[in-house]
Amino acid sequence: MDEQKLEQMRSVLNKLEDIKNTQESIIDKINHVITDLFQHPDKDLEKIMEEAHQKASDNVDAIREAMDDYEMRINKIETQD
């Protein structure tokens, strides 16, 4: 496989890393809201934040899995050259 294709694949992997980092940042921000709600309880907002936290966590897991698989494909291609 040519070097240009590998560079493109590495670029995609970097974008996946950026997406994962963004999701982790969202989780952190959600946690701050949840913590704030300890002082000013709002059951409806707490429920929404807990659901959002779970969805963001699921996204991180899915992206991490995709990254691992994609990185293995890149490594396999690199070792074949």
Give the Cα separation of 36 and 58 in Å (integer): 23
pTM of the model: 0.85
What is the domain range of residue 32?
A: 3-80
Percent of the chain with pLDDT over 90: 90
Phi, then psi, of 21 in degrees rounded to 5: -60, -40
Output the CA–CA distances (angstroms, integers) from residue 7 to 1, 3, 11, 76, in the order listed.
Answer: 11, 6, 6, 14
Q: How many domains does the chain have?
A: 1
Residue length of the chain: 81
User: What digits encode the pLDDT tens for the residues 40-79?
Assistant: 999 999 999 999 999 999 999 999 999 999 999 999 988 8
Q: Residue 17: which residues within 8 A CB-CB, separation 6 or more?
A: 67
